[in-house]
Structure 1
Amino acid sequence: MNEEQAHLLVIDDDQTFNRVLSRALAQRGFTVFSAHDQAQALQLADAHEPEYVVLDLNLDGASGLRLIEPLLEINPNARILVLTGYASIATAVNAVKLGATQYLAKPAEVDAIVKALRVDEVDIESAIGTATMSVDELEWQHIQRVLGEHDGNISATARALKMHRRTLQRKLARAPQRGA
């Protein structure tokens, strides 16, 4: 890394996870800033122009992918890693198309995150694993794809999926566990 520590922005609405990850990344030589929502993330990005961003896919029920474009407008050279509790090929491809440089499934070790931030090529299969998906995981993947197609708009996604908005919000709030 440079003599001056690289700025890294961690964006995750789970405050405990955010704090632990931020502390661990700071111990590895980054100057870390933490955001828990989209507005705070953009404010910190504007103030510090981070070279690296670790972005949670699901920010309090909204798609974190919506932040990729504005973050890249602030710093076009930023390396954005999308971190998610549930990984799917559809969201990985969508994240990369939007400008993310990496995509990892939680739980991810801090050293794996640091390595992914520095590597140029995305290995989607290793990022999401190759285990057979459950019905809940397939449903989640489909919901994420439709949510992405509607730019994170919950109401439009619910209409497209022909389900009630509150039902969709409940499904988004409890992501299925891998292999469950």
Structure 2
Amino acid sequence: MTIRSMDNSADITATPVSNIMVVDDDVTFCRVLSNAFSRRGFEVCTVHDSADIIAVAELYMPDAVVLDLRMPGVSGLEMISPLRNINPDIRILVLTGYASIATAIEAIKLGAVYYLTKPADADEIIARLYEKDGNPAAPVKNELLSARRVEWEHISKVLMECNGNISAAARRLGMHRRSLQRKMNKHPVRH
């Protein structure tokens, strides 16, 4: 765990979020994001081990959490409800390199305020954390998804609906189980 003190020269009295907890098993990514937030006047705490998330949140009481979706031992989705139990007003942003429509919907249903794919810069994350009632503080990048990305999203959604059962998902998709496994073994398609 790393806690950095807030830069007293920055005026953040009007900001709705003043301390942020960054949760990611990638130590380098946490350090870069933590430094970027600190330069913008935020107090930052980082957590690299999923076993420490709740204990650190109870001690640190963050206003916002940037939560990695895939951590060893636990899914970021599983941590949303316990974090909201600690502070019902906490603003949780799920950040992932493995985005799918199904996980985005699930994250929002569980109480996350936003879902972003990596790489995301600190300014975009802060804008989403400040977002109120669908009005972002900064413009959102509207990018069209490729046909391969749409296919990946659809497969992810069907697989989630089938509770991870590849055979059932393959039947619903009208494809052979092995074809589905090959598609899933490929990395997610970006845009």
TM-score range, shorter chain: 0.7 to 0.9
| TM-score, normalization by structure 2 | 0.70
Look at both structures and tell me which one has the larger radius of gyration over its CA atoms: 2
Identity of aligned residues (%): 40
Q: Give the drift of 1:36.
A: 1.3
Equivalent position of 1:33 in the other structure: 45
Aligned residues: 163
Distance 1:133 1:28, change over 3 A: farther
8 Å CA contact retained: 1:91, 1:145: no
Q: SS at the partner of 2:66?
A: strand
Distance 1:138 1:81, change over 3 A: same
Distance 1:115 1:3, change over 3 A: closer
Equivalent position of 1:76 in the other structure: 88
Equivalent position of 1:131 in the other structure: 145
> Residues 98-113 of structure 1: matches in 2 within 5 Å?
98-113=110-125
User: Given the alignment of the two structures, is residue 2 of structure 1 paired with residue 2 of structure 2, yes or no?
Assistant: no
Q: Give the drift of 1:130.
A: 2.7
Equivalent position of 2:108 in the other structure: 96
> Residues 34-73 of structure 1: matches in 2 within 5 Å?
34-60=46-72, 62-73=74-85
Q: Give the drift of 1:47.
A: 0.4
Please state which structure has a larger fraction of its residues in helix: 1
Structure 1, gaps ≥5 residues long: 151-156
Distance 1:9 1:19, change over 3 A: same
Alpha-carbon distance between aligned partners in 2 of 1:145 and 1:35, rounded to the nearest angstrom: 32
Q: Which has the higher contact order (CA 8 A, sep 6+)?
A: 1
Q: CA deviation digits over 1:42-74, x for unaligned, max 9? A: 111010111010011111374211100000001
Distance 1:30 1:144, change over 3 A: farther
| TM-score, normalization by structure 1 | 0.74
Question: Could you say what the CA RMSD is over the residues aligned between the two structures, in angstroms?
Answer: 3.3
Alpha-carbon distance between aligned partners in 2 of 1:62 and 1:69, rounded to the nearest angstrom: 13
Equivalent position of 2:170 in the other structure: none
